[in-house]
Amino acid sequence: MNDDETIMSIEPDKEQLPDSGLAASRLPLVTVFFRSFMIQAGWNYERLQNLGFAFAITPALRRIYASKEAFNAAVLRHLGLFNTQPYMVGFVLGNVIKMEEGLARAPGNTELEKKLIGVKQALSAGFASIGDRVFWGRLKPITTQFCIVIWFLTGFYGWLFTGDGYRPSALVVFSGPLAGIVVYGTFAVYLRWIGLKKGYACGGLANCGLDAMRWPELIRRLSVTGFAFSLLIVLGAFGLLIVHNLPGESKGHLALKLALVLCVMTLQRVTRKFGRSIFFAMGIIVAVSVAVFTIFNPEKFNIYL
């Protein structure tokens, strides 16, 4: 069998199909792609994502291995420890499927089997690191910023002034979070599919797919985008606070409110610097609020923001 006879040939040459049980059909890869959405199903502490990985790769293994014994051995092989970022799993799956094809052509080759497991572990760690930075560290917070910006632009400020009784339409309420989900979901699905294709195309190499995108550049751009959005949102929020309070409030009260906000931001910064979670800062705010309201009972001065 030559290298073009593969499970995921883009244009399979049916006349050259081998008689070893492998098929040049796109179908198993599509099934693997859909199953890859369940990569974290059955997540457990002993082997992490092993059940999801075995579940996702099973249709390809079924196509690759004609004999039941070889198929069982392959499934068993993929019940070992596995952990990566869920959206990046396509790269690892594609690569491993290609290597399984090689192993099927050389049954009993323990060196190749060891290499397969080694490459799988190396790739899972590499893509976990990249995926965590791209998705959890940057893209997810950016989708939250999308939501804030949309609510901001449509005049729904309840998320900033919690006492605001304005009731926006359902369209406004849902458009904020859904906009982010559409962008995020589209990119995540695209990456899963592209990962599977590219992983399969360069299967067998420990750096396979790591050059599929310019990851450092993407990560840097996402950071800059997120920072720009953050800055705009914080400045906009300060602007809203001033505009919202100017007509009815004395300058003293407005200054007090601005000082409160700055205190909260400083508190967050300091707790973060000392490695404490946001719950720590939240706990301090709640404790101070309870102390102030039970000791001084400042009912006459409404200092709620």
Partner 1 sequence: MIIALKALISSLFAGLLQLDNVQAGQFLISRPALVGPALGWLNGCPAEGAKIGLLTELIYLDFIPVGGVVPPCGLVAAAVGVLGFAYGGLPESTAFFFGILAGFLYANLEYRLRVLRSSWIAGIEAQAKDGTLRLERRLAGSLLAESAMTGSYVFIFSWLLALGYGLGLCAGFGALLRASDFAYSLMPWLGLSGLYFRFSTQVYKK
254 binds partner 1 (CB under 8 A): no
Residue nearer to partner 1 on the CB measure, 16 or 287: 287
Q: Which stretch binds partner 1 (CB under 8 A): 98-106, 109-117, 207-215, 231-239?
A: 231-239
Nearer to partner 1, 67 or 207 (CB): 67
Residue 301 binding partner 1, by CB under 8 A: no
* Among 98, 138, 197, 198, contact with partner 1 (rule: CB under 8 A): 138
Closest to partner 1 by CB, 38 vs 117, is 38
Q: Measured from the CB of residue 61, what is the shortest distance to partner 1 in angstroms?
A: 11
Question: Which window, 17-25, 104-112, 153-161, 247-255, contacts partner 1 (CB under 8 A)?
Answer: 153-161
Minimal distance in Å, beta carbon 199 to partner 1?
A: 19
Residues 41-80 touching partner 1, rule: CB under 8 A, are 41-48, 50-52, 54-55, 58, 68, 71-72, 75-76, 79
- Residue 167 Cβ vs partner 1, minimum distance, rounded to whole Å: 5
x/- site string to partner 1, residues 88 to 127, per CB under 8 A? ----------------------------------------
> SS3 sequence, the chain?
CCCCCCCCCCCCCHHHCCCCCCCCCCHHHHHHHHHHHHCCCCCECCCECHHHHHHHHHHHHHHHCCCHHHHHHHHHHCCCCECCCHHHHHHHHHHHHHHHHHHHHCCCCHHHHHHHHHHHHHHHHHHHHHHHHHHHHHHHHHHHHHHHHHHHHCCCCCCCCCCCCCCCCHHHHHHHHHHHHHHHHHHHHHHHHHHHHHHHHCCCCCCCCCCCCCHHHHHHHHHHHHHHHHHHHHHHHHHHHHHHHCCCCCHHHHHHHHHHHHHHHHHHHHHHHCCCCHHHHHHHHHHHHHHHHHHCCCCCCCCCC
**Smallest separation, CB 164 to partner 1 (Å):** 9
For residues 22-41, which are near partner 1 according to CB under 8 A? 37-38, 40-41
